[in-house]
């Protein structure tokens, strides 16, 4: 019986093993680039914060409004401060916040969700930014999870408040 494949193999030009290896390697590299894409850094702007966020923070504040700011105040010079709220960002640099505060010792403010604060915010391209509430209360933040989370720390210039908190998009 004659082998019919002999005619087929004679009609195909012979390829060196090195050339065949290079061709397969090149195809593999192309296929790899087609399936793997490098992650792109996300650029943030004011519109990265848009909608409502549930947030809370806790920390310490100097007791009484007359307490002078001090960079090295002992822990005994502070009182607890806790808050929960609904923050709504407009995507254009403004926000409102409905907050409830617990200052310890039974002093609760806004327990009917009637404490409505307003403010402005800025966002840098790397996802960091600053919120400024009415009364020069500031929060420096970083955006996480593609705009679905915020982590922040209080940075009031003269208040002496030491707080940190987070927000999650609703």
Per-residue pLDDT tens over the stretch 84-102: 999 999 999 999 999 999 9
In a domain, 41, yes or no: no
DSSP 34: H
Task: Encode burial over 17-38: b for 16+ CB neighbours within 10 A, e otherwise.
Answer: eeeeeeeeeeeeeeeeeeeeee
Per-residue pLDDT tens over the stretch 123-170: 999 999 999 988 778 999 999 998 999 999 988 777 778 889 999 999
16 plus 87 within the same structural domain: no
77 plus 9 within the same structural domain: no
22 plus 87 within the same structural domain: no
152 plus 75 within the same structural domain: yes
17 plus 80 within the same structural domain: no
Is the pLDDT at 77 greater than 70, yes or no? yes
Residue 94 belongs to what domain range? 46-169
9 plus 29 within the same structural domain: yes
CATH of the domain at 99: 2.40.128.120
Instruction: Label residue 66 by pLDDT band (50, 70, 90).
Output: very low
In a domain, 157, yes or no: yes
Is the pLDDT at 116 greater than 60, yes or no? yes
Domain count for the chain, please give it. 2
The torsion angle over the Cα atoms of residues 128, 131, 132 and 138, rounded to 10 degrees, is -70
31 plus 72 within the same structural domain: no
């Amino acid at each position: 019986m004659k082998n019919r494949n002999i005619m087929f193999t004679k009609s195909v030009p012979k390829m060196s093993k090195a050339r065949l290896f290079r061709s397969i390697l090149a195809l593999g590299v192309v296929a790899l680039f087609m399936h793997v894409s490098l992650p792109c850094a996300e650029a943030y702007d004011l519109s990265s914060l848009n909608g409502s966020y549930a947030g809370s923070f806790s920390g310490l504040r100097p007791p009484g409004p007359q307490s002078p700011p001090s960079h090295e105040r002992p822990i005994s010079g502070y009182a607890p401060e806790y808050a929960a709220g609904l923050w709504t960002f407009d995507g254009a640099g403004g926000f409102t916040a409905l907050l409830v505060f617990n200052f310890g010792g039974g002093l609760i403010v806004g327990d009917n969700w009637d404490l409505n604060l307003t403010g402005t915010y800025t966002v840098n391209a790397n996802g960091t930014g600053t919120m400024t509430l009415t009364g020069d209360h500031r929060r420096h933040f970083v955006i996480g999870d593609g705009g679905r989370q915020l982590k922040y720390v209080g940075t009031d210039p003269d208040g002496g408040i030491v707080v940190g908190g987070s927000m999650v998009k609703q």
